[in-house]
Amino acid sequence: MNNLVKLILLSVLFSPILLNLFDLVFVLSNDYDLLNYFFKSYTQNLIKNSFLLSTTVTVISILMGAVMSTIFFAISSKNLRYIYIMLIFIFFAIEPIIYLSAFNTNSLFNSISAFWQSSIILSFSMSALSGLVFIFALSSLNQESIKTALMVASKRDVFKLILKPQLLFILSVSFFIFFILVFSRSEVPSILGYRTYAEDFLAQVFLMDEIKSSAIAAMPFYLLALLISLFVALFIKKYHIKFSIKEQINFLLIDSLDQYTVKAFFLFLTILLGAILTLLVKKIDFYLLGDLIEDNIFIILNSLIVSLVVSVLTLVFSLFIYKTVKEFKSRLLIYGVIFLIFLIFLTPSTLIAFEIIKMMQFINIHTEFIEYLFFILASSFKLIPLAILLVSILYYRDVEDESLQFFNITAKDYFLKITIQTYAKRWLFIVMIISVFALNELSMAILLTPIGFEMIIIKIYNLLHYGDTSTVTFLSLMQIVIIASFLMIVWRIVDKVEKKKMDTRG
């Protein structure tokens, strides 16, 4: 594929965000007074609230993620590691709103302030996400090079001068990303009565339906994207950080962590999850279980199919973007794409959905197929940044071109026989993470799904307002159970195939 075609494809992929930027420039160039919105003490208070909440949740999540990943590497049994990953994944897959419905009747929880209530609820899934990211990031470190350092220096010094600088990049990027994820969340703090900027932003978009206000209100997200892009660009330039996964993970620095601590933490996580699940299950009316299943089976299937298609498509787009950008010679172009990627990540889904609706109106073809296509593409588009981050952490090696030339293998054969088999487990991990986000993406689903097509998240949102906790909890639990089971089955199959391959090699 030549460079011009790649650039055109990239531009098409990034078109919603480019149009969005154009809106902002257009609005600002016509009316500078709109910026006064940021000088109102009301707006400033909301931004301050959001910063406080985001920072608190991010710090808690990173600390918890560090503990979770440390425990993971201290687990000696491979099977126990699978269970542990599953456990963390379930914590991550549960929507914050579900944690809230589990805790909202607890008197201890109700006695604390709305700020701390929001922080605790949002920290559950964010800590789990942080744990998953850290586990995979730490796996990419070269254990042998750390052992070499340990031959001359103490564990403390090796951590300070060898390990920490290598982890700094992933830690800082994670910090920013978790910050943004919390910054753009509005449902939980809003229900708990803690006013945030994200809530006001949604109000601007939904209530006023005014392109000017929404474009201006999106500015802090753009500024954050610019800052993060600059940071990443500087870091890449300074350190030339590369990641490569080592299959045999046994992180030396925590070898000495005793197994009692590991088991105690394991038990704590299991009891915590058990308690949350029990609180949730208690809210289901079991005598209505048959009806619940019958009424919702198609919605569950719809949601699963959509989330899987979206996540696979997102992975394909992300691999294409990652590979294309790596081949760019111009640093400016690379940094430009990094900026756009962060911009997509930060831009609220609602705004992207509006751009997609505008595009559909421009195309002016109103068939069911086009509606589904744009909904799927828009959902993938929003998740591209997260997938690219995961792809870059899990390092996609560029050995294809050389091998194709040397061994005269067709691109199709190489992809089917080498690439897929090498990266299956890593891609599966990405697909699973992305599918959870796809399942929980509310704004895209509300604004873009064709009429008559229901998804779990829309039904949860609608029923929450009517107080039907039984159906809401049932749908959420079903979602979690299906994802967890799917992940476990596929992961075991991949593992068995790999083991079989090793046995055949002798």
Partner 1 sequence: MIHLKNCLFNRENGFHLTIDTLKIEESSRVILVGASGSGKTTLLRILAGLEENFLGHYEIDGVARDHLGSLKERGVMFLSQDFLLWEHLNVIEHINFVLNRGKHLKNTQESLYFLEMVGLVHKKESKIYQLSTGEKQRLALARALSAKARYLFLDEPFSNIDLVLAQELIEIIEQRQNIDKFALVESTHHHLGFEKETNQIVILNSGKIIQRGTWHEIQNSPKSSWVEKWVNLV
Q: Which residues bind partner 1 (CB under 8 A)?
A: 142, 144-145, 147-155, 157-158, 160-162, 165-166, 239-242, 502, 505-506
According to DSSP, residue 38 is labeled G
* Residues 37 and 216 sit within 8 Å (Cβ to Cβ): yes
According to DSSP, residue 245 is labeled -
Question: Which residues make Cβ contacts (< 8 Å) with residue 176, sequence separation at least 6?
Answer: 224, 228, 231
Please, what sign has the CA dihedral across residues 267, 268, 269, 273? positive
Question: Which residues make Cβ contacts (< 8 Å) with residue 263, sequence separation at least 6?
Answer: none
* Residues 297 and 360 sit within 8 Å (Cβ to Cβ): no
Question: Token digits for 360?
Answer: 């559909």
* Residues 61 and 123 sit within 8 Å (Cβ to Cβ): yes
Nearer to partner 1, 252 or 377 (CB): 252
Question: Token digits for 168?
Answer: 């700094």
d(CA 341, CA 334): 11
CA-CA-CA-CA dihedral for 498, 499, 505, 506, to nearest 10: 170
Q: In terms of C-beta density within 10 A (0-12 exposed, 13-18 middle, 19 or more buried), how is residue 242 classed?
A: exposed
CB atoms inside a 10 Å sphere around CB 392: 17
* Residues 54 and 189 sit within 8 Å (Cβ to Cβ): no
- Between the alpha carbon of residue 1 and those of residues 309, 328, 377, 464, the distances in Å are 25, 13, 22, 49
Q: In terms of C-beta density within 10 A (0-12 exposed, 13-18 middle, 19 or more buried), how is residue 225 classed?
A: buried
C-alpha closest to that of 310 among 485, 491, 449, 128:
449
Nearer to partner 1, 108 or 152 (CB): 152
d(CA 30, CA 26): 6
Q: Tell me the residue type at 314.
A: T
* Residues 135 and 72 sit within 8 Å (Cβ to Cβ): yes
Nearer to partner 1, 161 or 275 (CB): 161
Helix, strand or coil for residue 341?
helix
Nearest approach, Cβ of 142 to partner 1 (angstroms)? 7
Question: Which residues make Cβ contacts (< 8 Å) with residue 466, sequence separation at least 6?
Answer: none
Nearest approach, Cβ of 168 to partner 1 (angstroms)? 8
